[in-house]
């Protein structure tokens, strides 16, 4: 372990100490993510009911043996909808992150490698994206290309790309200053090959930790878009959309249909953040 990581640990001392003292939080969070992924993969097998099967004799049913988490305004089983909703929720966040990473890493690496005017142009381009605070850029894209899960994912991906580009550019610049890069260049390795085969693998560990933390953020923002009705449309049981549909019940005193999916999002995001911070601590030993 180098001196730098020691400094970083001092900076976040209480957090690190808490994690050290209780590795079970980390394991619990990994377990939560595992359950979420399993639900997404095996949804039709494990869900007790179909996500869209209505039962008008059990509307707003409280949790009980028939419906473990109760039912919503159409008598649909909340647990089943939650399990089926894991797939669109997680896949959406993964897709948006994959798109943003492809774009952001490309921009960041090219900017760091070419420097000069390419760097300047790309920096201005990302600056314009930063001028749109929060979700505004996504909202513009949705206003133009109409609502839908694909638009929401692509829009969010475009909004996340500058963040990743900035981060990648910073770590790539640091990496490019290392002697091994010069050594490869002396051997006559071409630019594209050098970046793809030698530079990117070395950036990966730092990048992955950052991406896991961004995943939580992406999941939350996507859920917010779906809550506003801009992303997935009914009868999808995406979690943000479930909160939106359960909203009407809150005023009548039926809290479950809105709060259960909401808390699910929160728990998954918290778990992702804990795992992400731990991963970036572990993976970034080299820097």
Partner 1 sequence: MTALLLRRLGAMVLTLAISSFVIFVAIYAAPGDPVTFLIGNPENITPERIAAVRAEYHLDQPLFVQYALWAQGVLHGDLGTSFYYQQPVSELLSSRLPVTLTLVAMASVLFVVLGVSLGVASALSRGGRVDSVITGGTTFVNSVPNFVVALGLVSVFAVELRWFPVAGEGTGFAGRLQHLALPAVALALGSLALISRVTRQTMVEQQTLDHVEAARSYGLGTWSIVTRHVLRNSLGPVVTMCGLTLAGMLAGTTVIESVFGLAGVGSLLVESINTHDFAVVQAILLYMVLAYMVVTILVDLIYPLLDARTLVRSDRA
224 sits near partner 1 (criterion: CB under 8 A): yes
DSSP state of 77: B
To the nearest whole angstrom, how small is the minimum distance from the Cβ of residue 227 to partner 1?
5
- Radius of gyration of the chain from Cα atoms? 22
211 touches partner 1 by CB under 8 A: no
Q: Which is closer to partner 1, CB of 176 or CB of 270? A: 270
**Nearest distance in Å: CB 198, partner 1:** 36
**Does 166 interact with partner 1 (rule: CB under 8 A)?**
no
Kindly state whether residue 7 participates in binding partner 1, applying the rule CB under 8 A: no
Smallest CA-to-CA distance from 211 within 260, 158, 279 is with: 279
Does 6 bind partner 1 (CB under 8 A)? Our answer is: no
123 binds partner 1 (CB under 8 A): no
Beta carbon of residue 266, minimum distance to partner 1 (angstroms, whole number): 4
C-beta separation of 184 from 194 below 8 A: yes
- Residue 179, preceding peptide bond in cis (omega within 30° of 0): no
Which of 230, 231, 237, 280: binder of partner 1 (CB under 8 A)?
Answer: 230
262 binds partner 1 (CB under 8 A): yes
Rounded Cα gap, residues 1 and 3, in angstroms: 7
Instruction: Determine the Cα–Cα distance for residues 152 and 58; give it in Å rounded to an integer.
Output: 34
Other C-beta atoms within 10 Å of 157: how many?
22
Q: Which residue has the tokens 């039912």?
A: 71
- Least spacing, CB of residue 197 vs partner 1, in Å: 37
* 185 lines the binding site for partner 1 (CB under 8 A): no
Nearer to partner 1, 131 or 192 (CB): 131
Give the closest residue to 265 by CA, choosing from 84, 36, 30: 36
By CB under 8 A, residue 258 contacts partner 1 = yes
Across the strands, what pairs with 284? none
* φ, ψ at 60 (rounded to 5°): 55, 35
Distance CA 70, CA 78 (A): 6
Nearer to partner 1 by Cβ, of 107 and 109: the residue is 107
Q: Could you say which of 31, 128, 183, 285 contacts partner 1 (CB under 8 A)?
A: 128
Residue 150 binds partner 1, judged by CB under 8 A = no
Phi-psi region of 245 (alpha: psi -120 to 50; beta: other; left: phi over 0): alpha
Can you give the binding site for partner 1, defined by CB under 8 A? 11, 13-15, 17-18, 127-128, 131-136, 139-140, 142-145, 147, 216, 220, 223-224, 227-230, 240, 243, 247, 250-251, 253, 255, 258-259, 262-263, 265-266, 269-270, 273
């Amino acid at each position: 372990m180098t001196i730098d990581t020691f400094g970083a640990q001092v900076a976040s001392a209480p957090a690190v100490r808490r994690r050290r003292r209780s590795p079970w939080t980390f394991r619990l969070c990994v377990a939560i993510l595992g359950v979420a992924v399993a639900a997404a993969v095996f949804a039709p097998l494990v869900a007790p009911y179909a996500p869209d099967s209505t039962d008008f004799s059990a509307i707003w049913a409280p949790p009980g043996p028939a419906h473990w988490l109760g039912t919503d305004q159409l008598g649909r089983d909340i647990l089943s909808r939650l399990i089926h909703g894991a797939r669109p929720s997680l896949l959406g966040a993964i897709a948006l992150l994959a798109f943003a990473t492809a774009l952001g890493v490309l921009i960041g690496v090219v900017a760091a490698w070419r420097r000069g005017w390419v760097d300047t142009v790309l920096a201005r381009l990302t600056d314009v994206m930063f001028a749109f605070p929060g979700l505004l850029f996504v909202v513009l894209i949705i206003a133009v290309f109409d609502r839908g899960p694909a638009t929401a994912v692509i829009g969010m991906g475009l909004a996340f790309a500058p963040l990743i580009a900035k981060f990648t550019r910073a770590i790539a610049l640091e990496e490019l200053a290392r002697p091994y890069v010069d050594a490869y260049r002396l051997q006559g390795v071409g630019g594209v090959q050098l970046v793809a085969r030698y530079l990117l693998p070395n950036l990966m560990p730092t990048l992955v930790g950052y991406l896991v933390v961004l995943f939580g953020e992406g999941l939350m923002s996507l859920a917010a878009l779906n809550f506003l009705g801009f992303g997935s449309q009914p009868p999808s049981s995406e979690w943000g959309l479930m909160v939106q549909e359960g909203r009407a019940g809150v005023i009548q005193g039926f809290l479950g249909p809105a709060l259960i999916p909401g808390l699910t999002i929160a728990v998954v995001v918290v778990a992702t953040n804990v795992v992400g911070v731990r991963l970036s601590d572990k993976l970034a030993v080299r820097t």
